[in-house]
Amino acid sequence: MRILISADMEGATGVTWTDDVVPGSPQWDRFRRLFTGDVNAVLAGLFEAGAGDVLVNEAHSSQRNLLLEDLDPRARMLTGRHKPLSMMQGVDSGVDGVVFLGYHAGAGFDGVLSHTYLENQITGVWLDDVPASEGRLNAAMAAEYGVPVLLVSGDDETCEDARDYAPEAELVQVKECVSRYAAICLPPARTADLLTGAAADAMARAGREERQVRAHRIEVEFDASHLAQATAVIPTVEQIGTRRVGFDAVNMTEAMKAFKVVTAIAAGAVQGIYG
């Protein structure tokens, strides 16, 4: 069995605010070790339950946060930015399951460091008229390749979100959201046990499924009108409201490529503290 781990950082053990996840700060240096610990805990469970090969896709921000020197030597790690499938790079390589590790709630919802791709310019994303977190978007991508979501970890809001888009997945709550920047956290010794046990249990569901390839529509709402105007110049993207754009795509892979362009253009249109 071959497994993919899509590893984000906001939902990792102990993470609660900006400095914990922004490269370069002392707090980030501390929490990248806890992040790596979460990944190793999941790897232990996957290998214990029969995984033969696990690829860890670094999926947070710079995508250079995990400590390769501390990673379980049985795993392989994909690190660095500008991957064609972004957070889901590797899902098209014949894997039998995917783990969403360290995930978080979507833009516009309660949750520790909740957002969807852009940290604060996007106020909502909809996939086929359903509010969409990164987890929901990535689950639709996985379904397109016939890859089941085996496990999702993060705060309680992340787990509640995953119950809808991945109802059969194992869920691991490593913290309880108090606000966007505060949480009741379990220590890493406890979260490691939870992650390892859930990963081992999740392997029972590993195995390719029928591919679900179909057209999709994504809509994105921003916090300012000029971001909608800036992204509406992209071919296929239409401004459908003062702060909202939408586009259609023939499949989820193409939808996510277009979504990446939308977020890149929006990020480039932000002007200092006024956004």
Helix (H, G, I), strand (E, B) or coil at 72: coil
d(CA 157, CA 273): 29
- DSSP sequence for 244-263: EEEEEESSHHHHHHHHHHHH
Q: Which fold has domain 2-116+133-205?
A: Rossmann fold (3.40.50)
Judged against a pLDDT cut of 90, whether residue 13 lies above it is answered with: yes
Tens of pLDDT, residues 211-222: 999 999 999 999
pLDDT at 153: 99
Total length of the chain: 275
d(C-alpha 72, C-alpha 54), whole Å: 10
Amino acid 65: pLDDT = 97
Q: Which two tokens stand for residue 245?
A: 């754009």
Measured distance CA(261)–CA(96) in Å, rounded: 29
User: Residue 189 — pLDDT band, cuts 50, 70, 90?
Assistant: very high
Please give the mean pLDDT across all residues of the chain: 97
What span, in angstroms and rounded, lies between the C-alpha atoms of 41 and 110?
27
226 carries a ligand binding annotation? no
Nearest to 127 by CA among 269, 252, 222: 252
Q: CB-hemisphere CA count at 13 Å for 11? A: 34
In this prediction, residue 19 carries a pLDDT of 97
Average confidence (pLDDT) over 107-117: 98
Range(s) of the chain covered by CATH 3.30.1360.130: 216-269
Nearest to 127 by CA among 263, 247, 267: 247
Is residue 67 scored above 90 in pLDDT? yes
Q: What is the pTM of this model?
A: 0.97
CATH 3.40.50.10780, the chain: domain bounds: 2-116+133-205
Q: What is the mean pLDDT of residues 181-192?
A: 98
Q: What percent of the chain clears pLDDT 70, i.e. is strictly above it?
A: 100
Provide the β-strand partners of residue 58.
Answer: 7
Q: Which residues pair with 101 in a beta bridge?
A: 7
Q: Which residue carries 């790897």 as its tokens?
A: 43
Strand order in the sheet with 53-58: 76-78, 53-58, 2-7, 97-101, 149-155, 170-179, 182-185
Rounded average pLDDT over 126-136: 98
Mean pLDDT on 111-128: 97
Cβ-based neighbours of 38, under 8 Å, separated by 6 or more: 7, 12, 13, 101, 102, 153, 174, 188, 191, 192, 195
DSSP 123-185: EEEEETTEE--HHHHHHHHHHHTT--EEEEEEEHHHHHHHHHHSTTSEEEEEEEEEETTEEEE
Flag whether 69 is marked binding: no
The pLDDT-based confidence of 39 (bands split at 50, 70, 90) is: very high
Position 165 pLDDT exceeds 90 = yes
Which whole number is the average pLDDT over 147-169?
98
Tokens of 215: 């057209």
Any binding-site annotation on 10? yes
The amino acid that residue 51 corresponds to is A
Q: For residue 143, name the pLDDT band (cuts at 50, 70, 90).
A: very high
| List 82, 115, 216, 226, catalytic entry | 115
- Predicted local confidence at residue 257, as pLDDT: 96
Residue 273, pLDDT > 90, answer no
Q: Please say if 115 is a catalytic residue.
A: yes
pLDDT at 179: 98
CATH class, range 216-269: alpha beta
CA distance 272 to 145: 40
Three-class secondary structure of residue 57 per DSSP: strand
What pLDDT digit, counting tens, does each position of 226-267 carry?
A: 999 999 999 999 999 999 999 999 999 999 999 999 999 999
